[in-house]
Amino acid sequence: MKDFFRSKEHSFPYVIIVSLIIALAEFLILFASSIGLNELITYNFQNEFYFSGGLSHLYSNFTILIISLIIILAFIMILVVSSSLILSKKRDIAIMKSLGTIPRKLYSFYLIEVYVIFFIGFILGFIIGLAAFGIFSLFLSSLGFLGFFYFDLFFTPILFIASILGIFFVPGTIMRKLANRSMVKIFSKDIPFDLDASKNISLVPKWISAMGFNFKISVLNTSRRKGEYKRFLIVFSIISVIIFTLGLGTFVLTQSAQTWIQKAQGNNLIVIGHENLIQQYALMYEMFSDPSIIVDTDEFDFLDPQYLFNLSDIEEFALIPEISKIDERLLFFSETSELDGILYLEGGGYQIIGQERTGNFPVLGVNTSNLIQNFEIEGNYFTSSNSFMYMFIGDGLGYNFFDFPLDQSMRIEELQHTFHVSGIVIDTFYSGHAAYIDSKIMREELNFTNQEINLVILQLQSGINDEIEDQLNLVISGNLGENFTMLPLASTFQKNQDFIINLGLFPSIIIVVLLIISLLSLYNYQKSGIMDKAKDFLIMRAIGSSYRNIKRILFLETFYVIIPSLFFSLGVGMILNALVLFERVTLPPLSFPFILIGILIALFLLFNYLSLYSLMKKVKIFSIKDFEIY
């Protein structure tokens, strides 16, 4: 503690750096999880079915992947900072060693100081990150975005424990090596004490050096500062991997999700039915994107006779040319039961699956030949020949009500009928917690004899206009009654599409934050070696080298960090996305990842070039006074 306060002008900056790293990591962890997509967290929603189907599963996996990468980034940066702190103490270590301090005392003394800085920095960073996210959440809420604040008790402890162990093994190993070296060897800084500039360099640096004088000097400078180069390369590579993985994954997920939701909802749809019932029907679609909405099935009887009408009452809709499709439906809620199934194993034998779950869910009677939606489906629809045995379900039921849905059955207690699951569809209706059976079978089981239905979905060739509205109102008032009306679903469906678009905005904010961090890292890498190379630059100027050559050398040194890191991120990012997303989503053109990496390369190279103007101002004022004794 005495050394910590004695050299506070040296120790405090490291505390600040650790605090900023932890604050950033904590903010990003809370930010990624608070969107409501982290399946490791239980959220207190009024709508318990909110975003819990197939899309949620994909987004949750993607969120966990990004948080894991953020933790790895923070962990590596903590190790880099801690290692840099140890290396900055070389002069003190050499003096203590020359005075007779035994290696074990040196090791424990400085390692404890590293831990003191880490603990102080972690506590401060945690508080700063928590406060920053609290302010940010309030700001998002004021803009109308949905956000949720909570204390992370899973990822933050992982980062804390991993950092403690990492400091022991990585900076601790560096400290143990330094403590056992001679005083002369300890005095060397980041440039190795045994560096031999005349030694032949390896194949790739040799090939680069052959491209010209500036390339040769830049390679030699990078080789001399190999330790610092490796540290920055690792950090920048991880940042690049996160940026590329986020960018590619967000684009793929958003495009695929929008396509699937479009197929699940349709275009230019109008629902017709009793005014009370169709309002409930629209709310059941809004449940997908609004956790505050829940349809109370205990207070609303969908099969009340006042809500029912006959198929014959809507025959006149077929005479309106602007209507391209008519989808009649019968909707009600029923207690349902999951039935056990048999899963046959590849190596032989079988396994009984199922947990005998029960629930109260909407059941829709539909005619698959008239079905307007073109669902994204795994499995198959039932047909008129097998409709007595089969049903298809939404992805919410598929992921939460069954273990292996395509190998199980579901019993609808209201009908006293068991159906085997033939397919799972990505659906926004009731957040995907709906079952679809044949409407004819439903009426038979309900003892309906007059082809009763309670909903009609009309698909128009284009948007609704006054003429079509008048024709529809004429049929509705004449055939169905005064309490029946129509409701366009465009605004409801658009809310769900906007929800998916907004989900893509949140990762974009993380990308912007990480881009800023990466640009600052590049600038610090350029700046860090300036003073160490002051002597070299003065000698180069003395023998006639121009400032333009020095500028090119500095550009190339950072270039050697940018290019390997970004191509590494291209490979790793595509692999990570393939493991988490690509099996299920719609893939973009193969050129897209390369276009994305090309944009990143251009951006970083441009920043590399522009930042040199600031650095060259410092180079131009170098003098003999900038030489250090050691």
Pick from 132, 161, 189: which residue ends a domain? 189
455 located within any domain: yes
Encode 144-187 in three state secondary structure. CCCCCCCCCCCHHHHHHHHHHHHHHHHHHHHHHHHHCCCHHHHC
Amino acid identity, position 559: F
Q: pLDDT digits over 14-28, tens only?
A: 888 889 889 988 988
Pick from 139, 171, 189: which residue ends a domain? 189
Domain ranges, residue 87: 1-189
Question: Do 535 and 607 have their domain in common?
Answer: yes
Q: Output the pTM of the full model.
A: 0.80
Question: Do 290 and 225 have their domain in common?
Answer: no
Give the side-chain half-sphere CA count within 13 A for 192: 11
Q: Which helix (H) or strand (E) holds 560?
A: helix 547-577
Per-residue pLDDT at 38: 43
145 located within any domain: yes
| CA-based R_g, the chain, Å | 33
218 located within any domain: yes
488 located within any domain: no
Question: Do 232 and 148 have their domain in common?
Answer: no
559 located within any domain: yes
Pick from 411, 441, 461: which residue ends a domain? 461
Q: Which residues pair with residue 460 across a beta bridge?
A: 323
Helix (H, G, I), strand (E, B) or coil at 64: helix
Closest-CA residue to 362 (of 293, 426, 414, 286): 414
| Other CB atoms within 10 A of residue 228 CB | 20
Helix (H, G, I), strand (E, B) or coil at 624: helix
Q: pLDDT digits over 397-441, tens only?
A: 999 999 999 999 999 999 999 999 999 999 999 999 999 999 999
Mutual angle of helices 490-528 and 547-577, in 10-degree steps: 140
Number of structural domains found in the chain: 3
Q: 267: phi > 0 → left, psi -120 to 50 → alpha, else beta; which?
A: beta
d(CA 282, CA 429): 9
d(CA 86, CA 377): 57
Q: Are 329 and 362 in contact (CB under 8 A)?
A: no
Per-residue pLDDT at 42: 46
Helix (H, G, I), strand (E, B) or coil at 293: coil
Question: Do 593 and 457 have their domain in common?
Answer: no
Question: Do 426 and 512 have their domain in common?
Answer: no
442 located within any domain: yes
Question: Do 291 and 391 have their domain in common?
Answer: yes
Q: pLDDT digits over 549-570, tens only?
A: 888 888 888 888 889 999 999 8
Residues of the chain with pLDDT under 70: 34-46, 143-150, 183-204, 297-299, 525-535, 582-584, 622-630
DSSP-assigned states of every residue in 170-231: HHHHHHHHHHTS-HHHHT--SS-TT--TTSPP-HHHHHHHTT-HHHHHHHHHHHHTHHHHHH
